[in-house]
């Protein structure tokens, strides 16, 4: 994403949330109503994923594929932990940092622009690694998972929410390479993670909040109206259609580093 596109997207999101705030405040854990999240799946799914791990206020979470930082801010606000969000896109990291500062969370959340397959962190630096609907759009997923294993401490948790193939053919989605759940689980085992649990959450994935659904529709209309952001609208439309048709499924995966 270009610097201009990332900055414009962040500006649109902040403006829409400000307008919605006049009618109803945003949920505390979603200061931007989750509008940064391209997939559109409900953030209530993350409550179930977090409940299956162990969190304390001193935990340090690595959020790989953080994009504009919706999950990073959710983790910090909902669970009280510190978070480092990583994206290979410097423009996304800058826009995520700006949104985080405006949300008053810069003490808990920071962003780093780095290749997820070559992370600039010491081994065993983090207590948890989260990858939320990101691995299918990151290059060399095996390297990303290997780096996740290296970055998390022994006994630490890998928590993933993954968009996986629900049919024989993937949706036509530029920059995304979703795979079958069996193939993704094999990559996680290959990286060295153990105690792997998986749950299909597709039936529960739709956003439940009318406030958030309305805000997402308004954002999508704005994206469609701006030629520089039209590709973002196409991505969101394609993801929503694939999830609705069942060609993509939502899988939650929990594993540990031995």
Both tokens assigned to 254: 């929990």
The C-alpha atoms of residue 166 and residue 163 are separated, in whole angstroms, by: 9
Q: What per-residue confidence (pLDDT) applies to 149? A: 98
pLDDT at 57 over 60: no
Beta strands in the chain (DSSP E): 60-64, 82-87, 109-113, 126-132, 152-165, 194-200, 248-256
Q: What is the pLDDT of residues 201-234, one digit of tens each?
A: 999 999 998 989 999 999 999 999 999 999 999 9
Looking at the structure of the chain, the number of domains it has is 1
- The mean pLDDT of the chain is 92
End-to-end CA distance of the chain: 36
What number is the average pLDDT over the span 115-131?
A: 96
CA distance linking residue 256 with residue 175, whole number of Å: 28
* Calpha distance 82→87 (Å, rounded): 17
Q: What is the per-residue pLDDT across 10-25, written as a single tens digit (0 to 9) for each?
A: 999 999 898 877 777 8
Q: Where do the DSSP E strands lie in 74-177?
A: 82-87, 109-113, 126-132, 152-165
86-107 pLDDT tens trace: 999 999 999 999 999 999 999 9
Q: Domain residues for 175?
A: 3-34+41-116+124-256
Q: Distances from the Cα of 173 to the Cαs of 133, 231, 236, 240, in angstroms?
A: 14, 10, 10, 11
Q: What percent of the chain has pLDDT over 70?
A: 97
Q: What is the pLDDT of residue 52?
A: 65
As a whole number of angstroms, the distance between CA 51 and CA 197 comes to 13
CATH code of residue 21 = 3.40.50.150
Spatial separation of the C-alpha atoms in residues 160 and 248, rounded to whole Å? 15
User: Within its chain, how far is the Cα of 128 from the centroid?
Assistant: 14
pLDDT of 55 reads 61
């Amino acid at each position: 994403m270009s610097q201009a596109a990332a900055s414009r997207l962040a500006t649109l999101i902040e403006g829409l949330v400000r307008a919605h705030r006049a009618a109803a405040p945003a949920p505390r854990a979603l200061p931007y109503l989750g509008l940064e999240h391209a997939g559109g799946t409900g953030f209530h799914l993350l409550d179930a994923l977090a409940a299956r791990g162990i969190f304390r206020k001193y935990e340090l979470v690595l959020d790989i594929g953080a994009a504009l930082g919706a999950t990073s801010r959710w983790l910090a606000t909902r669970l009280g932990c510190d978070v480092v969000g990583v994206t290979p896109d410097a423009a996304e990291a800058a826009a995520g940092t700006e949104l985080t500062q405006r949300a008053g969370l810069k003490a808990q959340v920071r962003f780093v622009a780095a290749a997820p397959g070559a992370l600039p962190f010491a081994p065993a630096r983090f207590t948890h690694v989260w990858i939320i609907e990101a691995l299918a759009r990151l290059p060399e997923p095996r390297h990303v998972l290997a780096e996740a294993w290296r970055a998390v401490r022994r006994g630490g948790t890998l928590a993933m929410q993954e968009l996986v193939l629900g049919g024989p053919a993937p949706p036509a989605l530029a920059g995304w390479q979703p795979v079958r759940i069996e193939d993704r689980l094999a990559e996680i085992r290959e990286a060295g993670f153990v105690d792997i649990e998986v749950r299909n959450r597709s039936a529960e994935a739709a956003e439940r909040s009318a406030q958030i659904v309305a805000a997402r529709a308004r954002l999508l209309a704005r994206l469609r109206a701006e030629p520089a952001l039209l590709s973002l609208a196409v991505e969101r439309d394609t993801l929503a259609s694939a999830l609705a048709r069942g060609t993509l499924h939502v899988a939650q995966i929990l594993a540990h580093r031995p």
